[in-house]
């Protein structure tokens, strides 16, 4: 007999029910709830992401078509109105806490591989805009005829795992979120020019938090020191600078490092600004180049998960769906890092969708997805030997 429950059920085991219920009580997510549990809501929304369901109807009918296989999930297929009401009224903070719980469990396993030899924690900070229709999402004002929300993301470069996210109106400037974050001393933050804020640079430097970014073209500074650039590495200059504008100097009174790098592919010179004086110029350039991973993360999030269209129109429903997508992406990256098979994310998403309700050992499938699983044992049926009559 097949001893394994479905792959979907095994994925849900990453979220122990007792820990899930603790978060439900902590966030008061089931206050005044009747019948339909938060666990059932979470299973349905995770199915929306992994099963690529495009509407409430597809979620509920997709689960209903697997009714016989839902018992081991601990739920019944919900009605559309029930799921819609839960998404509109139940706390989205439950899904944020669930994301953090999964992240903590994954990080405790130490599976993320470091690309650089330095010991500092390296993170990227960036944002992406999700377009919305103002006629359906009249609360998400962005421009005169356009609605949108913004996802601000912190990406850990150890395994390229999402570390945290903030979901705001699209009008919220990136720098507003950056000012709210407290990084541990020694952290290296890499970001683009949208985060150029001299007061923030000064605060980070005083807190021994390092940054790598690109200098704005209109920055006013003077060179106070010159380093020796490495040979044959496209490093043109390695300089020590100070801001000359009185307001800028007051905000950031510390000397900073300016590295000029030539890109032969684009025939451009890039100006990288950092407060880290110990790393080599080529390492600083490589750190900024690795920032591209957060752009890839946003691309995959929009391409492989349901993040561009929504099954609910309220702010709460939208946040629940986004946090569920982030949970699904974190789960997929975990599976990708743990599996012995060299999965691309596109193949993993596609084949996982096809096998969600297949009864097979999850890790055996992840490690050898194209091997034929052992045949189920079937007892021999008693037969009547008519030749003896």
- Per-residue pLDDT of 262-318, as tens digits, reads 998 889 999 999 999 999 999 999 999 999 999 999 999 999 999 999 999 999 999
Is 0.95 surpassed by the pTM of this model? Answer: no
Assess if residue 233 is contained within a domain.
Answer: yes
Alpha carbons 223 and 62: distance in angstroms, whole number: 64
Q: Both 354 and 272 in a single domain?
A: no
Instruction: Give dist(CA 162, CA 332) in Å, integer.
Output: 11
Specify the DSSP element, H or E, that contains 256.
Answer: strand 256-263
Q: What is the pLDDT of residues 321-375, one digit of tens each?
A: 999 999 999 999 999 999 999 999 999 999 999 999 888 999 999 999 988 766 6
Instruction: State how many domains the chain has.
Output: 2
Within a domain: residue 89? yes
Domain interval for residue 38: 7-100+312-367
* 269 and 346 share one domain: no
Sign of the CA dihedral running 284, 285, 289, 294: positive
Angle (CA) 53-59-61 rounded to 5° is: 120
Which of 279, 298, 327 represents a domain boundary (last residue)? 279
Reading phi first (left if > 0) and then psi (alpha if -120 to 50, else beta), residue 173 is in beta
Same domain, 29 and 95: yes
Residue 46 covered by a domain: yes
In a domain, 285, yes or no: no
Query: Are 142 and 157 a contacting pair, CB within 8 Å?
Result: no
> 15 and 83 share a domain?
yes
Do residue 272 and residue 323 come from a single domain? no
| CA dihedral (139, 141, 146, 149) positive or negative | negative
Is residue 318 a part of any domain in this protein?
A: yes
- DSSP codes, 14-38: TS-HHHHHHHHHHHTTTTT--SS-H
* Rounded Cα gap, residues 88 and 81, in angstroms: 11
228 has a pLDDT exceeding 90? no
**Segment 116-134, tens digit of pLDDT:** 888 999 999 999 999 999 9
User: Is 60 exceeded by the pLDDT of residue 378?
Assistant: no
- Residue 96 inside a domain? The answer is yes
| DSSP state string for 94-122 | HHHHHHHHHHHHHHHTT-PPPSSSS-S-E
In a domain, 1, yes or no: no
């Amino acid at each position: 007999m097949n001893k394994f429950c479905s792959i979907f059920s095994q994925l849900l085991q990453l979220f122990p029910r007792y820990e899930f219920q603790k978060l439900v009580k902590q966030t008061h997510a089931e206050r005044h709830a009747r019948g339909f549990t938060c666990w059932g809501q979470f299973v349905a929304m995770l199915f929306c992401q992994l099963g690529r369901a495009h509407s409430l109807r597809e979620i509920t009918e997709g689960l209903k078509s697997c009714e016989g296989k839902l018992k081991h999930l601990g739920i019944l297929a919900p009605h559309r109105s029930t799921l819609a009401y839960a998404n509109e009224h139940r706390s989205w903070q439950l899904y944020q806490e669930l994301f953090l719980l999964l992240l903590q469990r994954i990080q405790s396993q130490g599976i993320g591989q470091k690309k650089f030899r330095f010991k500092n924690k390296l993170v990227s900070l960036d944002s992406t805009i999700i377009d919305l229709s103002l006629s359906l999402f009249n609360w998400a004002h962005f421009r005169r005829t356009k609605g949108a929300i913004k996802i601000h993301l912190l990406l850990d470069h150890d395994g390229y795992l999402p570390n945290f996210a903030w979901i705001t109106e699209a009008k919220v400037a990136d720098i507003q979120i950056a000012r709210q974050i407290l990084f541990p001393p020694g952290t290296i933050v890499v970001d683009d020019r949208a985060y150029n804020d001299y007061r923030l640079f000064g605060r980070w430097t005083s807190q021994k938090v390092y940054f790598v970014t690109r200098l704005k073209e209109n920055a006013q500074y003077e060179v106070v020191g010159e380093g020796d650039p490495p040979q044959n590495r496209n490093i043109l200059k390695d300089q020590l600078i100070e801001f000359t504008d009185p307001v800028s100097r007051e905000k950031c009174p510390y000397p900073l490092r300016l590295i000029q790098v030539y890109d032969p592919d684009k025939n451009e010179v890039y100006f990288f600004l950092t407060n880290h004086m110990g790393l080599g110029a080529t390492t600083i350039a490589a750190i900024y180049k690795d920032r591209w991973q957060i752009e890839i993360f946003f691309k995959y999030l929009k391409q492989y998960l349901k993040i561009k269209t929504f099954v609910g129109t309220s702010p709460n429903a939208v946040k629940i769906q986004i946090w569920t997508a982030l949970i699904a992406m974190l789960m997929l990256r975990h599976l990708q890092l743990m599996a012995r098979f060299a999965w691309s994310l596109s193949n993993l998403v596609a084949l996982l969708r096809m096998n969600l309700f297949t009864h097979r050992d999850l890790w055996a499938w992840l490690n050898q997805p194209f091997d034929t699983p052992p045949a189920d044992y079937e007892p021999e049926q008693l037969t009547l030997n008519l030749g003896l009559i």
